[in-house]
Structure 1
Amino acid sequence: MSSESVCNRMWHCLIPVWQGGKEIVQKGLPHIQLAPTWQLLLLGDGSLTRHLQLLTGERTEVDLIDMSEIGIDSDGAPKEIQLLARPRVRRQVWLRTVSGQRLAYATSWWTANHINEYLQKKNLPVWENLTNQRIEFYRDVQGIHYGKSVALELAFGQTGPFWGRHYLFWHQGQPLTLIYEVFSPYLRKYIGSELTYSPD
């Protein structure tokens, strides 16, 4: 997948240094490339919102950056966007602590006809919206990314490259949303160094 196919100026994608697909996600990475604690966060199928709350001891909140109708456009998103019916909506948020520390950036894509049904409170994390409604879902991690973004360096106040991932939420056998997340290196405070290593 080329950087052109993954990047769009309307949302903060990573310019890839390295990336891996489903096989890498299932197998995991050598610990010299990514520390086990970071692999749990990136490759696990648990709630990021819940993990961040447990790590920081603070409630995780979202700052809504943008919600835009993108129609039939693939929006430079990962290829799994094709599984979502059109027209579509893109939502962008910062995940942060109550005290204001940004921990992650997330973009999600939704079928326009369903977004208001599942995201009833736009100022809450996706996980919280779904669990508040007792909606059962499965997180299916599709890819892991290691790359650069000047915009995210400025927003996080941290130097890249950054680790990220993208995944699908499935509900009743159907794709509910595609989510692309990038993590702030500030998380080293809680889970240590990523021990990053870029293969040739």
Structure 2
Amino acid sequence: MTVTFTPTNNFTVPAAWHRLTPIWQGEEKVIQQGLPHTQLAPAWQLLLLGDGSPTRHLELLTGEPTEVDVIDMSLIGKDSDAAPDLIQAVPGPRLRRQVWLRTPSGQRLAYATSWWEASHVDEYLQNRSLPIWASLARLRTELYRDVQGIYYGYSTALELGFAETGPFWGRHYLFWHHGQPLTLIYEVFSPYLTKYLGAMQLDLTNQ
């Protein structure tokens, strides 16, 4: 596995992570209710609104292992880092991790940023080249994935990274462990996944 790792060992805020500029977004109530299928197709709702592991979902969809390119691990101190407000639930000082999730051949399927309490990150990410789900599964860590926000929007950096045209669907959620927030994660999925999931929106006018 090829892993790209660029550490930053200071508390000045490093280069920005890739947040979507949303043209639509929804909060917890919308997530619990689900979206109209004309806005987000059922298969995509399972991926975005469900509480299962996206890494495992990607492996089942593609039939291939999901590999990780770590592109950033930066100490950000107690800076809010332009993250969702839930970052305040993660004790500081914090460490930010950015990754691409891809197939072994290099096809990028998703982008993720996560924020961790810096003093505890080594405890949970013992092998930093593994997907978070794989790392925590090895430790038999009991988790609850609490999806709190969903986004539909644009990012020039992600268009370049995915080699796909936006808009993109993304979400953020907290991982809870033993009743305490463990990490905040922000994920964006590539439109390439329409190959497996079908169209992002259903056209019901012809049905």
Describe the superposition over 1:33-82 as per-residue Cα deviations: whole angstroms up to 9, x where unpaired.
00000000000000001000000000001000000000010000000000
> Structure 2 CA distance, aligned partners of 1:14 and 1:41?
18
Match of 2:149 in 1: 143
Aligned partners of 1:117, 1:167: CA distance in 2, in Å? 20
Query: Gapped runs of 5+ residues in structure 2?
Result: 1-13
**Are residue 12 (structure 1) and residue 51 (structure 2) matched?**
no
Tell me how far apart the structure 2 counterparts of residues 183 and 128 of structure 1 sit (CA, whole Å). Answer: 19
Q: Does 1:164 align with 2:164?
A: no
Shift of 1:10: 1.0
Please name the residue that 1:126 is paired with. Answer: 132
For 1:141-189, what per-residue CA distance to the aligned partner results, in whole angstroms no more than 9, with x for missing partners? Answer: 0010000001100110100000000000000000000000000000000
Match of 1:75 among 58, 75, 81: 81
Determine if the alignment matches structure 1 residue 64 to structure 2 residue 70: yes
| 1:196 to partner: Cα distance | 7.6
> What is the CA–CA distance in structure 2 between the aligned matches of 1:183 and 1:123, rounded to whole Å?
19
Q: Percent identity, please.
A: 69
Distance 2:76 2:202 in 1: 35
SS at match of 2:199: coil
Encode CA deviations 1:125-155: one digit per residue, 9 max, x unaligned.
Answer: 0000000011111100001000000110011
Relative to 1, partners in 2 of residues 1:128 and 1:67: Cα closer, same or farther, differing over 3 Å? same
User: What is the Cα deviation at residue 9 of structure 1?
Assistant: 5.5
Per-residue CA deviations over 1:1-41 (Å, capped at 9, x if unaligned) read: xxxxxxx9610000010000000111100011000000000
Give the 3 Å change call, closer, same or farther, for CA 55–67 of structure 1 in structure 2. same
Matched, 1:183 2:197: no
Q: Deviation above 3 Å: which 4+ runs of structure 1? A: none
Q: For structure 1, list consecutive stretches of 5 or more residues without a partner in the other structure.
A: 1-7
> Equivalent residue for 2:57?
51
Asked if 1:192 is matched to 2:201, the reply is no
TM-score, length-scaled by structure 2: 0.90
C-alpha separation between the residues in 1 aligned to 2:181 and 2:66?
A: 25
